[in-house]
Structure 1
Amino acid sequence: MLDTMSCLERFASATRVHIDLSVRVIGDTPPRVRVRNRFSDTLAEVVTCSPQGVFLTSWGYRLGTADDIDNAAARLAYLLAALPA
């Protein structure tokens, strides 16, 4: 069984590489990661991890899987118009 909280924490770490993003892990039910572009009030997203290890945005966009967390985080950074460090 996949530990979704661990996957979300690793996703948050990979997302923090992008300097324009503010990242916060929320351990409620369901656990999630709240990410926003520091320079915009509207560019923000909430990401969850399904039991199958799929990272999903709040509107259902599939960012990637727990097998490739770095690319899933990079895809979210692209959607939020963030630059790598």
Structure 2
Amino acid sequence: MLDTMSCLERFALAARGHIDLSVRVLGGTPVTVRVRNRFSSTLNEVVTCTPDGVFLTSWGYRLGTADNVEAAAARLAYLLAAMPA
């Protein structure tokens, strides 16, 4: 079982590599990462990480796994219409 907090911190760091995204790690149960497009009030998403290391959006879309955090963050950036830095 993975440390989900560590996985989400790595995901947040990778998502910050996309210039159009604003990223916040939110505590609580479960820990989440809130990501939004800086130029849109409607393009936003909340991401969680399962104990198996799968990144999921609030609506259940599977972004990827902790094995390739950068690809999961890039998939979310694509969904939120963000450009790479």
TM-score, scaled relative to structure 2? 0.99
- Specify every segment of 5 or more residues in structure 2 that has no aligned partner in the other structure, as ranges: none
Q: What is the RMSD of the two structures over their aligned residues, measured on CA atoms?
A: 0.4
**Partner Cα distance (2:68, 2:27) in 1:** 22
- Runs (4+) of structure 1 exceeding 3 A deviation are none
Number of the residue aligned with 1:39: 39
- Specify every segment of 5 or more residues in structure 1 that has no aligned partner in the other structure, as ranges: none
- 3-state SS, counterpart of residue 36 of structure 1: strand
The size of the alignment, in residue pairs, is: 85
Amino acid at match of 1:39: F
Residue identity over aligned pairs, in percent, reads 81
Say whether residues 1:12 and 2:12 are aligned partners: yes
**Partner Cα distance (1:28, 1:18) in 2:** 25
Say whether residues 1:78 and 2:78 are aligned partners: yes
Number of the residue aligned with 2:3: 3
1:80 to partner: Cα distance: 0.1
For residues 12-59 of structure 1, give each alpha carbon's deviation from its aligned partner in whole angstroms, at most 9, with x where no partner exists.
Answer: 000000000000001111000000000000000000000000000000
Number of the residue aligned with 1:65: 65
